[in-house]
Amino acid sequence: MELLNDPLMRVCFLGTGGSWPTKRRNPISIALSSGSTNVLLDCGEGTQKQMLFSPVSPNKLDAIFITHLHGDHFLGVPGLIQTMSLNDRTEKLLVFGPEGIESSMEKALTMCHFQSRFEIRVRVMNPGDTVKVGELNFKAGRARHNVPSLAYRIFLDDRPGRFNRDRALELGIPEGRLWGRLQKGETVEVDFGGETREFTPEMVLGPPRKGVSIGYSGDTAPSKDVEELVKNVDLLIHEATFTSDLSENARKYGHSTAAEAALLAGSAKVSRLYIVHPSPRYAREGSEAPLLEEARNIFPETYLPEDLECIEVTR
């Protein structure tokens, strides 16, 4: 499904599966882009190959945000970094993740006879921590899994209202540099034959436009912490590893069923839900249909993306 009108963020599902690769789905990795900012949410094995078929170049990547250190969310990192280095990347790369990310990254970068040619900065994120990368703001929350795990809320700053060209001309503000300053929120002065008049942005701009927001659960059992973190987001990406007939498996391994993901989306009042991370037991063609049906019976605006599917997120 493509979301139209004034796109603010692009989401590319590089990998959408759980546990291990199948013929249809690579392990989880999601690329987010806004303007010139590009980040990854998780980095399952084979992510660098998936990126070859996506609009996102490894050498344009600013940061990787890891939710937890299970292999299907992390094993793609060393290969991706080697690919970047061998392709002459020079810009630093930021890597964020939960407790243990620093030692895991050290092991990942020393497990082979390889020396990165660019700087890699690693930072632990704790629930409640925030960071800004380029145009994207990130807030970490606590996920409910069987290892230390994070969920993320990603959002854009609010933008100025739309510029009213007709109103600016009516007021006598000459087109050009002054219009640009007004759009940036600056007050300007115009000389009318010796009489100077002052114009504020509010005179020519519409109401502020709220930036879009995305929630990403990582791996988690149903969680009030995650629900609170993702309240009212425009798009929620939530794991749905099993259907409800396997809810005991979900509890045992710290996962959610499709129904539980949909219930959380409804409680959090999100606009759209994309379920990911289906168990490989659903790899046979047609076997995933019950996941989507189960979720849509509770939350109709639910979608099950394919690998390499990209969508645009708007208000």
Name residue 196's beta-bridge partners: 191
DSSP string over 297-309: TT-SSEE-PPTTE
Which entry of 6, 42, 62, 72 is annotated as an active-site residue?
A: 72
**Nearest residue to 73 via CA among 185, 149, 164:** 149
Q: What is the amino acid identity at position 230? A: V
Sign of the C-alpha dihedral computed for residues 95, 9, 228 and 306 taken in this order:
negative
**Nearest residue to 31 via CA among 305, 315, 283:** 305
Beta strands 213-216 and 150-156 are antiparallel
Q: Please measure the distance between the N-terminal and C-terminal CA atoms of the chain and give it in whole angstroms.
A: 15
Q: Is residue 158 among the annotated active site residues?
A: no
Q: What is the dihedral of CA 255, 132, 212, 42, to 10 degrees?
A: -30
Residues annotated as part of the active site: 72
